[in-house]
Amino acid sequence: MNNNSFEYERFFELTPDLLCIAGYDGYFKKINHSVSETLGYTQEELFSRPINDFVYHEDQQVTSDARDEIIKSRPLLNFENRYVHKSGEIIWLSWTSQPIDDQKLVFAIAKDITHKKRIENERNSLLEKTSRINQNLKQLSFTTSHDLRSPVNNLLSIMQLIDKRTIGDPETRELIDLLEYGIGNLKSTLNTYVDHLQQSHNSSAKKEPVFISKTIQEVSQSIKSLIQSSKAEIEVDLQEFDEISFNKPYFESIILNFLTNSIKYSKQGHPPKIKIKSTIQDRKKQLIIEDNGLGFDAKDLEHKIFGMGDKFHENADSKGIGLYLVYSHVMNMGGKIEVESKINEGTKFTITF
């Protein structure tokens, strides 16, 4: 054996890829050690049986068809199929093959892509699970929003039966006006939400010009009694910008969740103080929402902050859905959301549009 032949032989044996020479008759003629190691068979066992015997039964026909194409002098590139390890384990291989017609041989190189396929399967399984959860949430949203309209309409009917002219106390009349306004606003919100759900069911959520100040005003009015009873202070600074391109119902949901969360998780004896500020960083619009509430350990809870059902405080009214919705809305619109928070030091959210 000359030196060149020796070097070729070393290359053939030392490469981690599966190298083989097969005959047009469907048998291996020469293989390197990686083939035997990957499939778990000795070279003698691999030479003694047709190659298709080692192929997973569901892939045998497509493998035979591919081999027929090679014999017609057509190279095979990135062909994937499954083999069965001697232990019974499924091995995924990706082949590149070149026919040598005058010798009735096929020179082939394969890579073991089993790990890649496992990752793909795990990812697909996760996507399927996520899709199923989103579908269930969508159905729940449809059902809840639709079914809530009936009792709301009933409340409006009851309010219309009240003759406010017979009520002498101005404070009582004001409370009834506030209640009637709140119920009417709830009905309008539910109708808008159902329409939006129907629209997003048929197509992707669309962006439109949205004014932050107007949204804050409308949402604040819808929870006016909650703001008054909690003595919450809302400070708004939109000097940098007031208009964004966003989905209107999504943004209303974001502001509503931030305001109600800041009030819900305020420190006892400290009225909620909520600051909403627009700023521009690296030519990107950002909205900062900050409060003086209970806060939480953002570093310790980093991977749970926006998870559905995750809660950080004991509160009977908490369902762990608000921040999940905020995160979903921001991500669906191509944005990013970050959070800074420490226990008893409040929370700061930054949305980058």
For the chain, give the longest Cα–Cα distance: 115
Q: Are 167 and 210 within one domain? A: no
pLDDT at 163: 78
Q: Are 143 and 238 within one domain? A: no
Query: Stretch 115-122: mean pLDDT, rounded?
Result: 91
Report pLDDT digits (tens) over 174-230.
Answer: 888 878 777 777 777 766 666 665 555 445 568 899 999 999 999 898 888 788 888
Q: Are 77 and 141 within one domain? A: no
Write the burial class of residue 58 (CB in 10 Å: 0-12 exposed, 13-18 middle, 19+ buried).
Answer: exposed
Q: Are 217 and 309 within one domain? A: yes
* Of 106, 92, 78, residue with least CA distance to 21: 106
pLDDT at 291: 94
Report pLDDT digits (tens) over 295-332.
Answer: 888 776 666 677 765 555 565 455 557 788 888 889 88
Average pLDDT, the chain: 84
What CATH number is associated with residue 181?
1.10.287
Q: Are 353 and 226 within one domain? A: yes
Query: Stretch 157-164: mean pLDDT, rounded?
Result: 74
User: Is the pTM of the predicted complex or chain greater than 0.75?
Assistant: no
What CATH number is associated with residue 56?
3.30.450.20
**More confident call, 342 vs 3:** 342
Q: Are 350 and 240 within one domain? A: yes
What CATH number is associated with residue 332?
3.30.565.10
Q: Which of 12-16, 64-68, 100-104, 150-154 has the lowest mean pLDDT?
A: 150-154
**More confident call, 48 vs 142:** 48
Range of the domain at 162: 115-203
Q: Are 331 and 218 within one domain? A: yes
Please say which residue of 62, 83, 112 terminates a domain.
Answer: 112
Decide if 310 contacts 302 (C-beta within 8 A): no
Q: Are 322 and 211 within one domain? A: yes
Q: Are 123 and 242 within one domain? A: no
Please say which residue of 69, 97, 112 terminates a domain.
Answer: 112
Checking if the pLDDT of 151 tops 70, the result is: no
275 DSSP β-pair partners: 235, 290
Give how many domains the chain has, as a whole number: 3
Q: Are 342 and 223 within one domain? A: yes
- Distance, in Å, from the CA atom of 15 to the CA atom of 28, rounded to the nearest integer, reads 18
Please say which residue of 144, 172, 203 terminates a domain.
Answer: 203
Q: Are 90 and 183 within one domain? A: no
> In this structure, which amino acid lies at residue 145?
S
Q: Are 209 and 353 within one domain? A: yes
